Structure 1
Amino acid sequence: GLLCGFAVCNELPSLAFLAFVALVGTFKFPKQTIFVYLPCAALPILLLLASNQVAMGQWRPAYSEFGSPWYTYEGSHWRIFDGMIRRGIDWARYNGESRATYTFHLLLGHHGFFSLTPVFLLTLVALARTPFYQHSSKSWGFLALTTVIVGAVVIVFYIFKSDNYGGFAVGPRWLMWVAPIFLLTAVPVIEGMAKSKTGRLIALVLLIFAVLAANYPGWNAWRHPWIYDAMLDSGWPGY
């Protein structure tokens, strides 16, 4: 509960994960969920809200109010006037990128969750096989369901509520926090691949590209992904 609450403090959409765990826990372990999980989850969130009240005079976090005066004050990077020309990834939608194109690049393109970390494709394989997979642990079904629901909620949320891929970052910054869930869900497929040389080779290649994306460039995470830079070098005009 404490960790789920702390996750919400860092990424507001992780509230979907906190709520899903609470919902399942209420049915399976009602007393523990109500008297332990929920109070522990509430503690860091209340501290966050209290610190906002002390610092800014309001309970609501400023980063939940994009477009408000907290972002559009005089001299702000985010302040735009009619007819103003702005360039760079922060202005992708402003410069005409469609939602369909944004969705593609968020998942499979220059900031793609799956193109930059292709090992997550194994997660999709695992989820597709779930109805036919007899796993020894009863927790597998819960993990798969968690991945589907939380992953879908977060991805859809950011497709419609964001337009800059998280800004200058080596990947889709909005989606990075779901990586542990996706990796755990891929374990059954990885175990199967480990039984053959071909499977191990494929897994290794996928992992190499994931490591490349995570460490490019290694000295500063606040840079564009390698796919984005490769597209620019190939003549793509960028934003």
Structure 2
Amino acid sequence: MSDDRHALSTGQDAARFRWIIYLLLIFLSSGTMLARIMQVRSPSRSDPSPLLSANDRSRWCTIRALVDHGTYAIDNIMFKPDGSRNRAWHTIDAVKHRGADGREHYYSSKPTLYTTLLAAPYWVIKNVSGATLEKRTFDVVRTMLIIVNLLPLVLAMFILARLAEHWGTSHFDRIVVVATFAFGTPLTTFVVTLNNHLPAAITLVFAIAAARPMLEGKSAPLWRYFLAGLFAAATLANELPALSFLVLLGAVLLLQDWKRTLLGYVPAIAIIAAGMFGTNLVAHGSWRTPYAHRSDGPLLATIDSASQTDLDAQRVPAGLLQLASDHAAEPLKARTMILEREPARRWILWDFDTQQRFALVMRDDGSAIELRAWDNWYDYAGSYWTRERLEGVDRGEASRLVYFFHCTFGHHGLFSLAPILLISAIGALLWLGNFNLQQRRLTSGLALSTVLLTVVCLAFYISRPLIDRNYGGVCCCLRWMLWLAPLWMLVMFPALARAEKKFSLVVVVLFLLAASVFSAQYATANPWSHPWIYDYWMQLGWIAH
């Protein structure tokens, strides 16, 4: 026994022992994730499907449209030839606007770069095997999920284990960090569905790994700067608040070696930026993502408020047709009509022949009616994203203070659903308490960066307007913060190192980890479901259905 303990105390044998544990954890996690992918199925009995929600259906629609029809428009996917809804493929996460052909079409509201890239493996599968998303949906979806979700996540687990070897100090802290990443976060839950949160967390791990020598203050080759920029920008492409990570990492690298940063980091960002804006321009004819087209466009002209009588009667007021034609892409036709949106408040000028729209909005003081360019792509017949149709959490939380509570310790709370993050918070504070730019550049810098990014991201979502304060909709966690999970894991080390010295604290840590695993595993069948706390509170009547 004493010889075994001595062997474990030597560096090489100790590392080998830890890697056996890491591999055990990673392979166990991989097996459970693969089993869930092979069983993925929506709860619908009438229309069984591997597409679990409107969120992932929106992305699958684009992938299918690109490969099967050569377009970003998803009309033919969402609707059957007779115009009725295709229930298995219909999604509320869609926008509608005029396309390059001069006709209105439905499009996914999701960012275009990731779905465009995912069209490549589907194209290969279709052309090699003949299987299509329409005819062999389950086979193609499950194969795609293994390729684009499972394999990259497993690779990220290996890389995070390597980071734990570099930055951890003992068996306990390293193994707990890897175990938490393998089982204790909702990242593994999201492996059964297409989403932007999982790839963002994965590319964050890749970016940190590429930049590791630079973060440690060491010299590094140009390719590491390039990969760091590529993966940091890819994280931004999937999570807008990750702009803070991109800028922060760029500042660190700039101080480390400004030449390699400009020659490697910046060009890599430019590649991703070109992909983001380029695919969006091709898909939507706009540099701005669909999320940025949620309100009326620029003011074009005004008409007398007395025209309200005609508008309420759905008549086109005299002179309005010519006034709108002056600002239209092509002259409006005779079949132009008025559609009411909000009584005595807002109307739509709609030309059936040219498929052009304009917004008519009564000023708050009632002095005039504004003619505005059409820019609200979420406003269309049957759209879910209207005040009248929103349900449950999608209505938004009116109180920002209440929203903050539920995002931290409430029914969607970071700490209530993943209490192991309390160890992350303590670890970050311990490293910050030992702040020393020269001696502890890595640990203090990593802790400071994690705290700043978490605060910035949380503040961003709390500051959003009412419709966006919805906890990410029906989802098992506060999914918008999930991309930060790798950083939260990496700042645990100092707290775990201290807890290891007392058996009672070890038990506490393991209890927190078990509770986090429970929350993560609660929704493994479908991450697009409420957290267990939310479900329990609804049963108690604390939350309205």
Report the TM-score, using the length of structure 2 for normalisation. Answer: 0.41
Does the 8 A contact of 1:8 with 1:45 survive in 2?
no
Matches within 5 A, 1:38-187: 38-67=266-295, 69-80=376-387, 84=388, 86-93=390-397, 97-133=398-434, 138-161=441-464, 162-187=468-493
Alpha-carbon distance, 1:188 to partner = 1.5
Alpha-carbon distance, 1:194 to partner = 2.3
Alpha-carbon distance, 1:9 to partner = 0.8
Between 203-212 and 189-198, report the one with greater CA deviation: 189-198
Q: Would the alpha carbon gap of residues 5 and 235 (structure 1) be closer, same or farther in structure 2, given more than 3 Å must change?
A: same
Alpha-carbon distance, 1:235 to partner = 1.6
Does the 8 A contact of 1:6 with 1:44 survive in 2?
yes
Q: Tell me if 1:222 matches 2:528.
A: yes
What is the letter of the counterpart of residue 111 of structure 1? Answer: H
Deviation per CA, 1:175-210: give whole Å up to 9, x if none. 111111111011211122123321221111111111
Deviation per CA, 1:147-192: give whole Å up to 9, x if none. 1211111110011113101111100011111111111011211122
Identity of aligned residues (%): 35
Alpha-carbon distance, 1:66 to partner = 4.4
Task: Count residues with an aligned counterpart.
Answer: 233
Q: Would the alpha carbon gap of residues 155 and 196 (structure 1) be closer, same or farther in structure 2, given more than 3 Å must change?
A: same
Q: Residues of 1 paired with 2:450 and 2:461: CA distance?
A: 16
What is the letter of the counterpart of residue 145 of structure 1? Answer: L
Larger radius of gyration: 2
What is the aligned partner in structure 2 of residue 34 from structure 1? 262
Q: Residues of 1 paired with 2:517 and 2:400: CA distance?
A: 28
What is the letter of the counterpart of residue 61 of structure 1? Answer: T
* SS of equivalent residue, structure 1 residue 205: helix
Q: Would the alpha carbon gap of residues 232 and 115 (structure 1) be closer, same or farther in structure 2, given more than 3 Å must change?
A: same
Q: Would the alpha carbon gap of residues 77 and 41 (structure 1) be closer, same or farther in structure 2, given more than 3 Å must change?
A: same
Q: Residues of 1 paired with 2:526 and 2:502: CA distance?
A: 37
Alpha-carbon distance, 1:134 to partner = 7.7
Q: Tell me if 1:12 matches 2:240.
A: yes
Report the TM-score, using the length of structure 1 for normalisation. Answer: 0.90
* SS of equivalent residue, structure 2 residue 491: helix
Higher relative contact order (CA 8 A, sep 6+): 1
Q: Residues of 2 paired with 1:128 and 1:198: CA distance?
A: 21
What is the letter of the counterpart of residue 476 of structure 2? Answer: V
Alpha-carbon distance, 1:65 to partner = 4.1
Q: Residues of 1 paired with 2:514 and 2:262: CA distance?
A: 43
Alpha-carbon distance, 1:127 to partner = 2.6
Q: Residues of 1 paired with 2:293 and 2:499: CA distance?
A: 45
Between 24-33 and 99-108, report the one with greater CA deviation: 24-33
Give ranges in structure 2 of 5+ residues lacking alignment: 1-228, 296-374
Q: Residues of 2 paired with 1:112 and 1:30: CA distance?
A: 40
What is the aligned partner in structure 1 of residue 13 from structure 2? none
Deviation per CA, 1:40-99: give whole Å up to 9, x if none. 12312220211110110011121344456222322111123xxx3743110133xxx311
Higher helix share: 1
What is the letter of the counterpart of residue 38 of structure 1? Answer: V
Between 157-166 and 38-47, report the one with greater CA deviation: 38-47
Does the 8 A contact of 2:430 with 2:495 survive in 1?
no
Give ranges in structure 1 of 5+ residues lacking alignment: none
Q: Residues of 2 paired with 1:31 and 1:194: CA distance?
A: 43
Q: Tell me if 1:233 matches 2:539.
A: yes
Q: Residues of 1 paired with 2:292 and 2:450: CA distance?
A: 24
* SS of equivalent residue, structure 2 residue 259: helix
